[in-house]
């Protein structure tokens, strides 16, 4: 490898890490409290601001290879709302709530009726997120999305919130380009790569990490101050309620309020340090379950190898200008981003106490998170390498192969890297008959 190439690769690789190094997660969450929501973060509460790099001279984009998560939603289970309400009602019945406790119960009870028969549904905030993403796709890559008669192949998992998210993006594309030929499809036939079942070897791994997850959950949950503001008898609360669990339950509801157009607000119940600590718990949880964590043998991202194989196949067979849009879930985006080693997503961190210095989940999987692989070819049929750049949540990312023109990489180099990575995993862990 030439010395110049090595230097440029080093600069590109460190650029993602340097962004993290500039500010701590604690400071970022203090400046933008919504970030502590992890996978409940509203996409529009953390917008991409940097301008995208222009195409290399003589090149034009011709293929969008995409996977995106559904937008903001209600929480998934009734207990995620009612457990907190029941605990506060129990305290109210015994005259144990402070004025702030009564106010908090009132907020939860006022919001709860909106959840009936809506658990897991896409919200208006989630729909708006995808309209924005679809609109920006047409603005950022007009050579693809505004091309006359361009083919858009959009597929979704069978979950309604994913289908509606796909619809919202495609509506924006159709509005910008009425000539676009858009094909929407939803089927169980696509589940094997849009929402892949995990092989047994991966399903076994979270159990090996559960003790670590409990350790950090207990280490960073400190309910005493919050309980003293909600209950006029903190000792009664400690004896009668699971206060650590209650703190986390209210925290999850508070975070998900950004998924709704509502004036109900709960994050102010928590101090900045409490928000940071509670976020750190989820950061460790997600890292151990989906990242290249040494504690889980660095294999969890391989749950998305079928999805990566589909991305490669589309890139190999695309001849005309087109877009392939896939819609699913954060449990796919998160490990896919780690498998692809986008920016610092593929980090291997031994000391989980320092995980957030390198790896922060809110950078990866807010509501409506998405990965965009944009492919470029020489203009006017000229010969030359196919180039690709990767965007995570509309932010340009480093990739795990050398380049002399970041953020653009030779697709042949990247394809070889990913193909070998998958093959090595399958040979070691799955055997020939998996």
- Please report whether residue 340 resides in a domain: yes
Say what the pLDDT of residue 381 is. Answer: 84
Give the whole-angstrom CA distance, residue 253 versus residue 274.
15
Q: Dihedrals φ, ψ of 371, to 5°?
A: -115, 125
112 in the same domain as 137 = no
At 364, the pLDDT band (50, 70, 90 cuts) reads: very high
Q: Is the pLDDT confidence value at 5 over 80?
A: no
Note down the domain range covering 265.
Answer: 79-119+207-282
Q: Is the pLDDT confidence value at 238 over 80?
A: yes
362 in the same domain as 426 = yes
What's the average model confidence in pLDDT over 357-363?
98
Q: How far is CA 11 from the centre of its chain?
A: 25
- Please report whether residue 179 resides in a domain: yes
Task: Give the number of domains in the chain.
Answer: 2
Boundary-marking domain end, from 282, 314, 336: 282
Q: Report helix angle 411-425 to 305-317, nearest 10.
A: 150
- Please report whether residue 288 resides in a domain: no
346 in the same domain as 243 = no
Say what the pLDDT of residue 2 is. Answer: 36
- Please report whether residue 290 resides in a domain: no
What's the average model confidence in pLDDT over 116-135?
98
pLDDT tens track for 266-317 = 999 999 999 999 999 999 999 999 999 999 999 999 999 999 999 999 999 9
Q: Where are the beta strands (DSSP E) in 70-200?
A: 151-156, 181-186
- Please report whether residue 287 resides in a domain: no
408 in the same domain as 340 = yes
Give the domain CATH number at 44. Answer: 3.40.50.1240
Give the whole-angstrom CA distance, residue 213 versus residue 280.
11
Give the whole-angstrom CA distance, residue 85 versus residue 62.
52
44 in the same domain as 184 = yes
327 in the same domain as 416 = yes
**Token pair in block for residue 199:** 């092989």
Give SS3 for 218: helix
What's the average model confidence in pLDDT over 139-157?
98
353 in the same domain as 408 = yes
403 in the same domain as 322 = yes
Boundary-marking domain end, from 254, 282, 310: 282
397 in the same domain as 345 = yes
Which sign, positive or negative, has the C-alpha torsion 220, 221, 224, 226?
positive
pLDDT tens track for 385-428 = 999 999 999 999 999 999 999 999 999 999 999 999 999 999 99
pLDDT tens track for 184-213 = 999 999 999 999 988 888 888 777 789 999
63 in the same domain as 100 = no
- Please report whether residue 289 resides in a domain: no
- Please report whether residue 130 resides in a domain: yes
169 in the same domain as 137 = yes
pLDDT tens track for 27-75 = 999 999 999 999 999 999 999 999 999 999 999 999 999 999 999 999 9
Give the whole-angstrom CA distance, residue 211 versus residue 352.
13
pLDDT tens track for 91-119 = 999 999 999 999 999 999 999 999 999 99
174 in the same domain as 323 = yes
CA distances from 125 to 38, 79, 262 (A): 17, 23, 10
Say what the pLDDT of residue 22 is. Answer: 77
- Please report whether residue 65 resides in a domain: yes
């Amino acid at each position: 490898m030439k010395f110049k190439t090595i230097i440029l690769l080093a600069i590109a690789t460190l650029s993602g890490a340097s962004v993290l190094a500039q500010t701590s997660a604690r400071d970022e969450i203090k400046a933008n409290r919504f970030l502590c929501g992890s996978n409940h973060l509203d996409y529009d509460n953390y917008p991409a601001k940097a301008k995208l790099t222009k195409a290399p001279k003589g090149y034009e984009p011709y293929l969008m290879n995409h996977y995106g998560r559904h937008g903001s939603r209600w929480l998934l289970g009734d207990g995620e709302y009612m457990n907190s309400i029941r605990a506060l009602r129990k305290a109210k019945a015994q005259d144990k709530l402070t004025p702030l406790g009564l106010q908090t119960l009132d907020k939860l009870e006022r919001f709860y009726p909106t959840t009936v028969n809506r658990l897991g549904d896409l919200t208006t905030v989630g729909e708006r997120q995808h309209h924005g993403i679809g609109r920006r796709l047409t603005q950022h890559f007009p050579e693809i999305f505004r091309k006359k008669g361009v083919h858009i192949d959009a597929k979704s998992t069978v979950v309604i919130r994913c289908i509606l998210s796909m619809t919202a993006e495609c509506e924006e594309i159709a509005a910008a380009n009425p000539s676009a030929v858009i094909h929407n499809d939803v089927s169980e036939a696509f589940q094997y790569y849009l929402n892949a079942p995990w092989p047994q070897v991966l399903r076994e791994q979270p159990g090996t990490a559960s003790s670590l997850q409990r350790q950090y959950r207990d280490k960073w949950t400190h309910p005493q101050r919050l309980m003293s503001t909600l209950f006029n008898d903190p000792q009664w609360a400690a004896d009668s309620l699971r206060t650590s669990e209650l703190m986390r339950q209210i925290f999850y509801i508070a975070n998900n309020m950004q998924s709704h157009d509502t004036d109900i607000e709960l994050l102010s119940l928590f101090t900045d340090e409490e928000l940071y600590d509670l976020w750190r718990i989820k950061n460790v949880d997600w890292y151990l379950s989906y990242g290249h964590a040494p504690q889980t043998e660095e294999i969890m991202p391989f749950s998305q190898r079928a999805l990566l194989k589909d991305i490669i196949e589309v890139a190999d067979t695309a001849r005309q200008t087109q877009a392939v849009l896939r819609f699913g879930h954060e449990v796919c985006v998160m490990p896919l981003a780690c498998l692809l080693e986008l920016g610092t997503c593929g980090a291997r961190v031994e000391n989980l106490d320092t995980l957030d210095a390198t790896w922060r989940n809110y950078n990866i999987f807010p509501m409506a998170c998405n990965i965009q692989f944009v492919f470029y070819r020489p203009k006017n049929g000229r010969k030359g390498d196919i180039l690709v750049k990767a965007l995570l949540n509309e932010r340009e990312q480093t990739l795990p192969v050398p380049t002399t023109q970041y953020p653009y990489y030779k697709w042949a180099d990247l394809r070889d890297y990913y193909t070998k990575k998958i093959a090595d995993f399958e040979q070691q862990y799955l055997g020939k008959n998996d």
